[in-house]
Structure 1
Amino acid sequence: MNAAIFAGRWLSALLLVAVCGITLAGQSPGNQRICDEIQQRYTVNQNQSNSRTLNFLLFDAAQRGCTDLIQRFIDLGASVQARDRAGNIPLQIAARSGERKAVELLLAHGSDVHHTNLAGSTALLQAATADRRRVAKDLLRAGADPNVRNTQGISPLAAAAYNGSDRMVDMLLEASAVPDSVDRTGKAPIVYAAGKGYTGIVAKLLDAGVKVDARYSHDLSVLMWAAGHSNDVPVGEGLSTVKLLVDRGAGLDLVDDRGRSALMTAALRDHGEIAALLVERGADATLADRQGKTVLELAGSEALRRTLQAAIEKKANSNQ
């Protein structure tokens, strides 16, 4: 299978604005300046204020967590259900920015925890994508549905699995998140975790009922994804994930829609330690893909071919 499949169509990153400030009373001092600036903008233009300008200010206050200003703008007529260009309401802006007090205040004023923006994302999905665990916990307590997916089929659990957020995954599973929902690219949360070497999350999802040999887009198994992990995964973590899957009974010689096994995938990606492990654990090194190529022919380097040949010979000798 070609490397592009493994590069994958990863989750689209939500816009997370980095700011140096925060808010007024009860907030971190670093944000005081930002909230003061928002207050100053209102003061200068208050004679021309209308519902539209108040809504704009409410969005800014929500993003920075300026709770005093949020309350003031609501009192002046700003709507907690106002929408920005992307269809977000202030609650979603506060959630993805990790502003818990702002989230609490907006919910208290009737903000809709189930609202979805134009991409179909809820505040919970945005919090999960930004790894805002405490905000996500607050949203779940407020009744957020952990199984609402966006227009691309991405669930909060998939976002948490992609981020490698063990505690977020635990929390969502405890809230009855479906562990094996598949997005529009044919991937489930376990695929994202396996492809990034998050062994602990892969284990949690298997424990939650995900089948170890389930097939995804292009007939790929989780083991194939783990064997062909992305190049930014530390060697030990990738190897650990493969070991876990093999120990859990993953089929070593399953093949994808190109006739390639996990062993072939590891060879293609030049993951020598994983390839050697799979041979040691019994993967068939004689299999040929639909083009008639064996693992030795698919190996990405001469060094890997030598490693594979040594592993194959060692396995053969141990079986005598």
Structure 2
Amino acid sequence: MNKQKLWLLLVSALIVPVPALGQPASLVCDALVQRLEQSAAALEGRHLNEALFQGAEVKCEGVVADLLARGASVEARNRRGESALSVAAKRGAIDVASLLISAGADIHHRDLSDSTPLLLAAEARRTRMVKFLLEAGADVNIQNKKGVTALAAAAFNGDSRTVSLLLDAGAKPDRPDESGKVALIYAAGKADTRIVSQLLAAGADADGIWGNDLTPLMWAAGHANDAPRLAAIETAELLLEAGADLSRVDNRGRDALMIAASRGHDQMVRFLIGKGATTDRKDKSGKSAYDLATNDELRTLLAR
């Protein structure tokens, strides 16, 4: 049999679907074991490592243990530059991850995006895996090529349990990514009051000036359209109580009130005016909150 046919046979043998919801993982692992046994003679070198990735993907610690014993390498990488530990982290396969680390897998391995297993676990909302990796010694503050940390990923996902774990492990809340956003910005923009409170309690700067000179208060004022309006106001209140400055302006010359008006957030506009926001400031293009307002109701409110 030529090498191309052998390769096609092996790939076919190793294609195992991720368990569907409600399907016992043991069935998938049994199927993988049978297919590996059928191609055992061809399992060497690169193919052995590819089988290791399959085992990690479908959370089969028995298969992974056997492949490691046969010589599969924990240093092998897939086309995304991930290690088998990276794959296990994304899948939340703690038993597999434990085996790989015991076999010498690098807990700080970086894939092609410079993401570590901890960051991948945080992005995938694998809270138990995050806890496991932290206890195994993962560096909580490593950033990937885009500057994203595990904390920022968890805040973006609205994953307060993971945020708590990361903060307890020493995550620094004020590390910006390449877009100039920190964890508090992501939480404020989504009006996630719980995470905003967690980050402020951990020392996040309520009045920090980040990308485009935007502050967390400005992000809360211009919150996502699907964020609960009352939660957005509560978020702004939390930030003001923690020292946010209503008078700050971004690189366009716009303050929080102007941003809220331009987004059509009438309740936020009322709240900010009640807190003392000035209505006559103009941005660098000469426009006021009144000019930026998206509807007549807001313009009437701002004209008072």
Shift in Å, 1:33: 2.7
Aligned to 1:7: none
CA distance in 2, matches of 1:108, 1:48: 26
CA distance in 1, matches of 2:301, 2:288: 15
Any conservation in 2 of the 1:148–1:155 contact (CA below 8 Å)? yes
TM-score, with structure 2 as normaliser: 0.90
Shift in Å, 1:86: 1.1
Any conservation in 1 of the 2:82–2:110 contact (CA below 8 Å)? yes
Aligned to 1:113: 107
CA distance in 1, matches of 2:283, 2:161: 40
Amino acid at match of 1:237: A
CA distance in 1, matches of 2:174, 2:97: 29
Aligned to 1:204: 198
Q: Are 2:227 and 1:233 aligned?
A: yes
Aligned to 1:48: 42
Match of 1:244 among 233, 238, 243: 238
Shift in Å, 1:21: 4.8
CA distance in 2, matches of 1:73, 1:21: 24
Match of 2:27 among 33, 40, 47: 33
Match of 1:301 among 283, 295, 300: 295
Amino acid at match of 1:230: A
Q: Are 2:56 and 1:62 aligned?
A: yes
Amino acid at match of 1:32: S
Any conservation in 2 of the 1:91–1:123 contact (CA below 8 Å)? yes
Amino acid at match of 2:178: R
CA distance in 1, matches of 2:20, 2:222: 41
Shift in Å, 1:210: 2.0
CA distance in 1, matches of 2:184, 2:278: 25
Q: Are 2:195 and 1:182 aligned?
A: no
Amino acid at match of 2:169: A
- 1:40-189 pair list within 5 angstroms: 40-189=34-183
Could you report, residue by residue, the CA deviation over 1:113-135 in whole angstroms, capped at 9, with x for unpaired residues? 01111110100000111111111
Aligned to 1:194: 188
Over aligned residue pairs, what C-alpha RMSD do you find? 1.6
Shift in Å, 1:29: 5.7
Match of 1:272 among 266, 274, 277: 266
SS at match of 2:125: coil
CA distance in 1, matches of 2:26, 2:223: 43
Any conservation in 1 of the 2:19–2:58 contact (CA below 8 Å)? no
Shift in Å, 1:300: 1.0
Shift in Å, 1:247: 2.3
Amino acid at match of 2:45: S
Gaps of 5+ in 1: 1-17, 23-27, 314-320
Match of 1:290 among 264, 284, 287: 284
Shift in Å, 1:169: 1.1
Amino acid at match of 2:78: D
Any conservation in 1 of the 2:59–2:93 contact (CA below 8 Å)? yes
SS at match of 1:138: helix
Amino acid at match of 2:24: G
Gaps of 5+ in 2: 1-16
Which one scores higher on RCO, CA 8 angstroms, separation ≥ 6? 1
Aligned to 1:15: none
From the superposition, tell whether residues 109 and 29 of structure 1 become closer, same or farther in structure 2 (CA, over 3 Å): farther
CA distance in 2, matches of 1:39, 1:235: 52
Shift in Å, 1:174: 1.1
CA distance in 2, matches of 1:304, 1:202: 27
Shift in Å, 1:177: 1.0
From the superposition, tell whether residues 191 and 47 of structure 1 become closer, same or farther in structure 2 (CA, over 3 Å): same
CA distance in 2, matches of 1:21, 1:76: 29
CA distance in 2, matches of 1:76, 1:103: 18
CA distance in 2, matches of 1:303, 1:141: 54
CA distance in 1, matches of 2:283, 2:171: 37
Any conservation in 1 of the 2:180–2:211 contact (CA below 8 Å)? yes
TM-score, with structure 1 as normaliser: 0.86
Shift in Å, 1:142: 0.9
Shift in Å, 1:40: 2.5
Shift in Å, 1:194: 0.7
Aligned to 2:256: 262
